[in-house]
Amino acid sequence: MFSIKYLAHDIVKVLCFLLGLPMFLYQRPKILFENKKAQKHIRGGAILIANHLGFFDPIYMMIAIWYRRHHFICLKKFFEGKSRPFFKAFLCLPIDKNNVSFGSFREIVEHIKQGELVSMFPEGAVNDGSGETATFKSGVTLMAFQGKVPIVPMYIKKKEHWYERLTMVIGEPIDDFSNPEAKMNFGLIDKITEKLQNKESELEALVKGEKNK
């Protein structure tokens, strides 16, 4: 209801909406695909990985793969205190980086075995600001081996200017894990983790190439 008392507030609100909506539409994320296989919807259990630039990355991942529920792996510290209900509502799975528990690892693997999508950042932390993707931790590979599910790589491009649209690129799923004959050992885990890192670099090159076109 109109009230002179809230006139300034209401004007600001309307202006925000009028200016914000076109801005939102203009700034909508741009999603690219590496190839035709990457364009296919992710079905069944899978792990989605991306580089980690900031707090909003999980939202970008949810926008890119909008048709699935994401279980995000997050630090246990976020699950302590007042933020717990928020992270629980977002289906986050806590993990203690300093003292990984076997129970939390088992819980993550159970989710992917049940056909759910687990999303995570193999860098293990938010990027240091350089824009360079840090070395991937190999936990993601072990999870995929245990769940026998593919890993879907994704690259989020850092915005250079505020007016730029956010660009993300989704890669072809890597499925080196469903073969029951695969002899898993430390060497193979490291090798596949390196392959994931290389794939991330390829996606980065692809998105940068797209920009220069």
Partner 1 sequence: MSMSRTEIIDKIKEILVYADPAGADKYVDIKEDADLRTEYGMTSVNMLYIVIAIEETFGIQFDNIGMNDVATLRDVVNYIEAKLS
Q: Which residues here bind partner 1, judged by CB under 8 A?
A: 96, 98-105, 137-139, 141-142, 146, 184-187, 189
Shortest distance, CB of residue 122 to partner 1, whole angstroms?
11
- Which strand (E) or helix (H) includes residue 46? strand 46-50
Task: Provide DSSP, 129-173.
Answer: SS-PPPPPPTHHHHHHHHHT--EEEEEEPPPSSTTSPPEEEEPPP
User: Is the Cβ of residue 94 or residue 150 nearer to partner 1 in the bound state?
Assistant: 94
User: Is the Cβ of residue 32 or residue 196 nearer to partner 1 in the bound state?
Assistant: 196
Return the SS3 of 180.
Answer: coil
Shortest distance, CB of residue 171 to partner 1, whole angstroms?
22
- Which strand (E) or helix (H) includes residue 12? helix 7-26
Shortest distance, CB of residue 183 to partner 1, whole angstroms?
9
User: Is the Cβ of residue 194 or residue 202 nearer to partner 1 in the bound state?
Assistant: 194
User: Is the Cβ of residue 30 or residue 137 nearer to partner 1 in the bound state?
Assistant: 137
User: What region does 131 belong to: left with phi over 0, alpha with psi -120 to 50, or beta?
Assistant: left
Shortest distance, CB of residue 97 to partner 1, whole angstroms?
8
